[in-house]
Amino acid sequence: MNDLLVANSVSKNFGNFKALNQVSIAVPKGSIFGLLGPNGAGKTTLIRIINQITMPDEGAVLLDGQPLKPEHVRDIGYLPEERGLYKSMKVGEQCLYLAQLKGLTKTEAKARLKYWFDKLEIGDWWNKKIQELSKGQAQKIQFIVTVLHQPKLLIFDEPFSGFDPINANLIKDEILQLRDEGATVIFSTHRMESVEELCDHIALIHKSNKVLDGKLNDIKRQFKTNTFEVGLESLNREKVFAEIQDKFEVLPATFKNLNDDIKLNIKLGEHASPNDLLSFLTSKAEVHHFVEVIPSASDIFIQTVKNN
């Protein structure tokens, strides 16, 4: 049993609107799983189904091999995108209340809160009201409340919104540490650079359907077009350019370089190897730059959404 969470052909309708259509995902234990998709694709609905906030019309969700039960709320920590806290309640009281709702006893909750408050150096906030905190400060509290009961599965929906870069990094490191300690993370965001940085698996939902999923590296391999970015220096630019264009599919490229090079994206046919290209190029000009073009998560996202 390597998958902590499995969703089997989950569908959900709201009236005549199909919010999810036969979506299946499998989140491996100990992974950071990126749940991606444009606005309104159905991500939040899927997340709410996992949290048992809404019930699926069809399909089932298994946590650790068992169909979701009310007791499972203890095993899940959820940081929703639409989040907030009771404004006029004191920080400490509020954390204790939310922790107890997740099944912790008061003493347990107190001890763990002390640990987290010390770790994030916010011990003096205990008796403040939420409305006295800044947005970023409140987000920190929210993060602590989400992870406090040490759930097996953590679901973060846009966890970095509202944080400055320093605090965003702090939270990112905490997420990585939690993963290293054995937690599994579902991570939903529109910020592709953090997907690149954190996720090892992704699934892309578009218009209520899952259109893509797998290991991020596999998907990248799948999406690469055997294209190479090259920078050449030659005295006879036009001639070299014409000769390359004769043999290969060529597109202009832009990248930063010291010299005034010919900058090209060269697409190889399916059977050609990079070595063939390289030896051809070295025979014509001086090669300063030779890199395989690997699609970024952002490229994959845009391309997939456009094609569907």
Partner 1 sequence: MNHLPLIIKREYFTKVKNKSFIVMTFLSPLIMIALFAVVAYLSQLNNDKERTISILDETGYLEEVFQNTEFTTYTNLNGLSLNDAIALVKEKEDYGLLYIGKAGSLDDVSGNVKFYSEESPSLSVISGLEQQIEKRLKEKKLELDGVSLAQIEASQTNIEIAQESFDGEKSSKIDNVVKLAFGGAAGYLLFMFIVIYGNMIMRSVIEEKTSRIIEVIISSVKPIQLMMGKIIGTSLAGITQFVIWVILGGVLLVVVSAIFGIDLTQVQTPQQEMVNQAMQADGSQAMAENLIAAISNLPLTNLVIAFLFFFIGGYLLYSSLYAAIGAAVDNETDTQQFMLPILMPLILAVYVGVFTVIEDPHGTVSTVFSFIPFTSPVVMLMRIPFGVPLWQQGLSLLLLIGTFIFAVWFAAKIYRVGILMYGKKPTYKELFKWLKY
Q: Which residues bind partner 1 (CB under 8 A)?
A: 14-15, 48, 51-54, 70-71, 73-74, 76, 78, 80, 82-89, 97-98, 100-103, 142, 145
Taking the least distance from each CB to partner 1, the nearer of 98 and 300 is: 98
What's the min distance (Å) between Cβ of 100 and partner 1? 6
Question: Which residue blocks in the chain are alpha helix, DSSP H?
Answer: 43-50, 91-101, 106-119, 135-147, 165-180, 192-198, 216-223, 237-247, 274-284, 297-307
Taking the least distance from each CB to partner 1, the nearer of 96 and 285 is: 96
What's the min distance (Å) between Cβ of 146 and partner 1? 8
Taking the least distance from each CB to partner 1, the nearer of 46 and 192 is: 46
Question: Bridge-partner residues for 22, per DSSP?
Answer: none
SS3 sequence of 18-87? EEEEEEEEEEECCCEEEEECCCCCCHHHHHHHHCCCCCCCEEEEEECCEECCHHHHHHEEEECCCCCCCC
Q: How far apart are CA 29 and CA 4, in angstroms?
A: 5
Taking the least distance from each CB to partner 1, the nearer of 101 and 291 is: 101
What's the min distance (Å) between Cβ of 73 and partner 1? 5
Short-list 204, 223, 220, CA closest to 36: 204
What's the min distance (Å) between Cβ of 17 and partner 1? 10
Tokens describing residue 251: 């597109």
What's the min distance (Å) between Cβ of 82 and partner 1? 5
Taking the least distance from each CB to partner 1, the nearer of 185 and 253 is: 185
Taking the least distance from each CB to partner 1, the nearer of 71 and 121 is: 71
Q: How far apart are CA 33 and CA 29, in angstroms?
A: 10
Short-list 10, 22, 45, 35, CA closest to 209: 22
Taking the least distance from each CB to partner 1, the nearer of 54 and 298 is: 54
The answer to whether 195 and 189 are in contact (CB under 8 A) is yes
Give the strand pairing for 58-63 and 66-67. Answer: antiparallel
What's the min distance (Å) between Cβ of 116 and partner 1? 16
What's the min distance (Å) between Cβ of 51 and partner 1? 4
